[in-house]
Amino acid sequence: MKIDISKISTRAPKDFDKEKTKRLTQKYLDRLPELQNKLYAQGKFGYLIIIQGVDASGKDGVVKAVFSGVNPAGCSVTAWKAPTEEERKHDFLWRIHDQVPEKGMIKIFNRSHYEDVLVTRVEKWIDTKEANRRFKHINNFESLISECNNTIILKFYLHISKEEQLERLDERIKDPSKNWKYNPNDINVNNKWDAYMNAYDEVFDNCNQIPWIIVPSDQNWYKEHIIAKTLVESMESLKMTYPKITKK
């Protein structure tokens, strides 16, 4: 099904009560450590959590809010930055493959391989032909790790409004506790908003074999609820159990 993010609200449905939803979210978070323990002990599946979104969409915040209770021995985060000189000498997925989770582990990508078909398109570093080639390889890569190594991939797009992004970027300047997040180049994303939305539309159109989950993210409590709920329900569906002692 085609995703048109311009027609998807960036806020929670009006019938969602904030406090009730936060209590429900906590119930999901309380279940997550036990599920992670089973995932780790069983060693049959791995989880790749992809968190995409424009600057200030709340990627760091959702990692802290949803995953703070899990055992760090079985979970790690990679925050993808611009490729190094060595990485640029290889194909664009070379550095990504090294970071995918082994069985039993949860790996969180704060940004991901999708930056190579987002920023590169907006800045016109690659053309349509190259973008289409990369879409094909991304699909093949995701199929490879999911089919050949039991990696469950959950892809979340944190959907915020242009106005909300501008408010959050401004907050980075005014709030001393958030000054460290300030980057003068961030405002360029807001100025190129339409180009980024077009680039995301291309991603959703071409790389949805493993479906994207669009997360309305103007309100942090609702964003955290959707991600926690999705992850816990996915893990519960595996019906994992602890390995038993085998008597010889």
**What is the tens place of the pLDDT at every residue in 197-238?**
999 999 999 999 999 999 999 999 999 999 999 999 999 999
State the pLDDT confidence band at 31, using cuts at 50, 70 and 90: very high
Report yes or no on 243 lying in a domain.
no
CA distance 166 to 173: 11
Residues ≥6 apart with Cβ < 8 Å to 153 = 47, 48, 50, 142, 145, 146, 210
Q: How long a stretch of residues is the chain?
A: 248
Given this model, what pLDDT does residue 1 score?
A: 67
Taking only Cα atoms into account, the Rg of the chain, rounded to an integer number of angstroms, comes to 19
Residues ≥6 apart with Cβ < 8 Å to 75 = 36, 67, 105, 106, 107, 108
Report yes or no on 44 lying in a domain.
yes
State the pLDDT confidence band at 121, using cuts at 50, 70 and 90: very high
Report the candidate in 140, 96, 88 with the shortest Cα–Cα distance to residue 114: 96
The average pLDDT across 120-140 equals 97
Report the candidate in 176, 196, 188, 164 with the shortest Cα–Cα distance to residue 58: 164
Other C-beta atoms within 10 Å of 176: how many? Answer: 7
**What is the tens place of the pLDDT at every residue in 149-187?**
999 999 999 999 999 999 998 888 887 778 887 777 777
Domain that holds residue 215: 33-237
Total domains in the fold of the chain: 1
State the pLDDT confidence band at 107, using cuts at 50, 70 and 90: very high
Report yes or no on 248 lying in a domain.
no
pLDDT above 80 for 119: yes
State the pLDDT confidence band at 40, using cuts at 50, 70 and 90: very high
pTM comes to 0.94
Report yes or no on 107 lying in a domain.
yes
Report yes or no on 1 lying in a domain.
no
Residue 200: exposure state from Cβ atoms within 10 A (0-12, 13-18, ≥19) = buried
The average pLDDT across 31-58 equals 97
Given this model, what pLDDT does residue 136 score?
A: 98
CATH at residue 221: 3.40.50.300
Report yes or no on 139 lying in a domain.
yes
